[in-house]
Chains A and B, each alone.
Chain A
């Protein structure tokens, strides 16, 4: 079942006099339950593609559909609500809120998604996801007290706690050593298999790519192979 559909996507960044074409006519379909890697060198448009898929950015031209619904015409608030309900994001530099503890970082995403959840229900859900990522004992620590791998696990927990349909991970292992990176991808793979969450992640790490079921190759803003 196709859940995200991109047609003839073009993205141009304008900075003063300069215009940079980040994506040039991308056609792509993502189906439910996929575990897809977007690979390509730096500057090939991986992040831009993931941002457009996750309603973080809109294309300059072309059509993006989520469950058949056109996103181009959506207002900022509608896009925020779509991100809240459908997507979990994992970032290369983790992007955790430094003043919040591990528990509070996860809780923030959960509170946004499920406004009416009781404190007890929230706690149960957060502890379960922290256990799944192996961080039960670190719940009261601040992000800066954790290793890179642990921070990325928090980021995964934050993405998954709200039961997203899709998790978009932008180079999730880039700031980690290869061993930790591998464990993170294995964790994502496991969650994909167990929970049926669709994963799309960008990387240029060949060790990670081998775990992907589908590989999309990008170069200079174009898909050059699958």
Chain B
């Protein structure tokens, strides 16, 4: 049976190759795209942690996400307590205030982020993008630079409401331009020395948040629960909670790719069914002969299902091999997306070269996907062959 199925496939090599090719391309695509999406998500998470959330964030209980109001009065008290936890590798405090920049003509709303330049670099990699120390100046996002048409060394007015409600304004030198993978930072963030900011706004030792780096970001939720019991009057969030919105968007994108994958599988099914249907038409007299020599309808069906299964196995294997090889290359070297993305926000926090990841589940799934798809696709032509009586098949011209 298998021998006959195999030889039948070799009968019309071009047609078999076409089906095999469709499957190979579909499965290769599936493996590479899954690896690519995995790479985008992983890189986005990495950048989100390294630029915005850290592994965990401690905030005041009355912190308001809209206005950024609600301050931790004595952050060093909390920081001293954090020292006791072995999983805490580093921490820093940030003071975030809503404000605006202006150049005397135009205004631009911003989030002012006060950072401790020394400690901040142990957790965040903002400095890697700014390249120049803050001193008494500011780093601004790349879109802000574009808006004001300013360069490093130029000056802008930073305006905000101080602690006592008075609007304060200071002309500050632009020390660095932040073109990061995080569009939120590029579009709206201004960085400044935390102590300078405190002085400017009459904040004493206050901070909006304490950012924590742990020994394992995957355990952030476990560590968070450990801290919750010790810091009862504070809000503690893991990076997963901080990035809930962007993670949800990322998952939606993955689901959209799933729809695309569904259509690819559908094309595979239609292609295989079509190939086998033509094959059934062409071999109708042979089917009659097989039935005449005593093959049951079930055995005839099995023969065609075997043909579909064999194409599927071959397509899956070659698709997986090619897909793994391409993915391997992309895991090592990645793709430089800069020419495609430019300043476009695609929802992922990525920039430049993004390396693929390995998704073992999808590779195993792909191995089964081909045979399952083609065996399913060959069911319909097989059923047609099964339904015809031997006499009808033998009369077929």
- Known pairs A89-B289, A89-B292, A95-B394; list 12 more (Cβ under 8 Å): A51-B390, A56-B291, A56-B389, A83-B291, A83-B294, A85-B294, A95-B288, A99-B11, A100-B4, A108-B4, A112-B295, A112-B299
Subset of 15 A-B contacts with CB under 8 Å:
A76-B389, A77-B296, A80-B294, A80-B297, A84-B293, A84-B295, A89-B292, A89-B293, A91-B289, A95-B289, A96-B289, A99-B8, A99-B10, A100-B4, A100-B7
Cross-chain contact A108 with B394 (CB below 8 angstroms)? no
Cross-chain contact B391 with A81 (CB below 8 angstroms)? no
Contact of B285 with A by CB under 8 A: yes
Residues of chain A with a CB closer than 8 A to B14's CB: none
Residues of chain A with a CB closer than 8 A to B298's CB: 77
Contact of A97 with B by CB under 8 A: yes
Contact of A109 with B by CB under 8 A: yes
Cross-chain contact A57 with B289 (CB below 8 angstroms)? no
Which chain B residues (264-314) contact chain A, with CB distance < 8 Å? 285-286, 288-299
Cross-chain contact A112 with B293 (CB below 8 angstroms)? yes
Cross-chain contact A108 with B293 (CB below 8 angstroms)? yes
Q: Tell me the minimal C-beta distance from B288 to chain A in angstroms.
A: 8
Contact of A217 with B by CB under 8 A: no
Cross-chain contact B296 with A80 (CB below 8 angstroms)? yes
Which chain A residues (13-58) contact chain B, with CB distance < 8 Å? 51, 54, 56-57
Contact of B81 with A by CB under 8 A: no
Q: 3 shortest A-B CB distances, which residue pairs? A: A84-B294, A57-B391, A99-B7
Provide the main secondary structure of the chain B interface.
helix
Query: A46-86 vs B: 1/0 string, CB under 8 Å?
Result: 00000100101100000000000000000011001101110
Contact of B118 with A by CB under 8 A: no
Contact of A158 with B by CB under 8 A: yes
Size bracket, chain B contacts: 20 to 34
Residues of chain B with a CB closer than 8 A to A98's CB: 11
Q: Tell me the minimal C-beta distance from B347 to chain A in angstroms.
A: 53
Contact of A104 with B by CB under 8 A: yes
Number of CB contacts from chain A to chain B under 8 A = 76
Contact of A113 with B by CB under 8 A: yes
Cross-chain contact B293 with A83 (CB below 8 angstroms)? yes
A residues near B (Cβ < 8 Å) are 51, 54, 56-57, 76-77, 80-81, 83-85, 87-89, 91, 95-100, 104, 108-109, 112-113, 158, 162
Q: Tell me the minimal C-beta distance from B372 to chain A in angstroms.
A: 26
Cross-chain contact A80 with B389 (CB below 8 angstroms)? no
Cross-chain contact A158 with B292 (CB below 8 angstroms)? no
Residues of chain A with a CB closer than 8 A to B10's CB: 99
Contact of B3 with A by CB under 8 A: yes
Q: In whole angstroms, how far apart are the Cα atoms of A96 and B295 in the complex?
A: 14
Q: In whole angstroms, how far apart are the Cα atoms of A77 and B294 in the complex?
A: 9
Residues of chain B with a CB closer than 8 A to A158's CB: 293
Residues of chain B with a CB closer than 8 A to A84's CB: 293-295
Residues of chain B with a CB closer than 8 A to A85's CB: 294
Give which listed residue, B4, B286, B294, B394, contacts A81 with CB less than 8 A. Answer: B294
Q: State whether A76 and B297 are in contact (beta carbons under 8 Å apart), knowing that A56-B390, A99-B8 are contacts in the complex.
A: yes
Q: Tell me the minimal C-beta distance from A145 to chain B in angstroms.
A: 15
Which chain B residues (298-357) contact chain A, with CB distance < 8 Å? 298-299
Nearest B-chain residue to A96, judged by Cβ: B289
Cross-chain contact B294 with A95 (CB below 8 angstroms)? no
Q: Tell me the minimal C-beta distance from A24 to chain B in angstroms.
A: 18
Cross-chain contact A57 with B4 (CB below 8 angstroms)? no
Query: B147-185 vs A: 1/0 string, CB under 8 Å?
Result: 000000000000000000000000000000000000000
Cross-chain contact B7 with A109 (CB below 8 angstroms)? no
Residues of chain A with a CB closer than 8 A to B4's CB: 97, 99-100, 108
Residues of chain B with a CB closer than 8 A to A95's CB: 285-286, 288-289, 292, 394
Residues of chain B with a CB closer than 8 A to A112's CB: 293-295, 299
Residues of chain A with a CB closer than 8 A to B297's CB: 76-77, 80
Residues of chain A with a CB closer than 8 A to B286's CB: 95, 97
Query: B1-34 vs A: 1/0 string, CB under 8 Å?
Result: 0011001101100000000000000000000000
| Residue among A57, A81, A87, A162 with max Cβ neighbours from chain B (10 Å) | A57
Nearest B-chain residue to A86, judged by Cβ: B294
Q: State whether A109 and B391 are in contact (beta carbons under 8 Å apart), knowing that A99-B8, A99-B10, A104-B3 are contacts in the complex.
A: no
Nearest A-chain residue to B288, judged by Cβ: A95
Q: In whole angstroms, how far apart are the Cα atoms of A143 and B299 in the complex?
A: 23
Query: B369-391 vs A: 1/0 string, CB under 8 Å?
Result: 00000000000000000000111
Q: In whole angstroms, how far apart are the Cα atoms of A95 and B8 in the complex?
A: 15
Give which listed residue, A56, A99, A162, contacts B292 with CB less than 8 A. Answer: A56
Residues of chain B with a CB closer than 8 A to A80's CB: 291, 294-297
Nearest B-chain residue to A55, judged by Cβ: B390
Residues of chain B with a CB closer than 8 A to A77's CB: 296-298
Q: In whole angstroms, how far apart are the Cα atoms of A57 and B292 in the complex?
A: 10
Q: In whole angstroms, how far apart are the Cα atoms of A111 and B3 in the complex?
A: 12
Residues of chain A with a CB closer than 8 A to B391's CB: 51, 56-57
Q: Tell me the minimal C-beta distance from A161 to chain B in angstroms.
A: 10
Nearest B-chain residue to A77, judged by Cβ: B296
| Residue among A81, A85, A87, A89 with max Cβ neighbours from chain B (10 Å) | A89
Cross-chain contact B394 with A109 (CB below 8 angstroms)? no
Residues of chain B with a CB closer than 8 A to A54's CB: 292
Q: State whether A56 and B7 are in contact (beta carbons under 8 Å apart), knowing that A80-B294, A80-B295 are contacts in the complex.
A: no
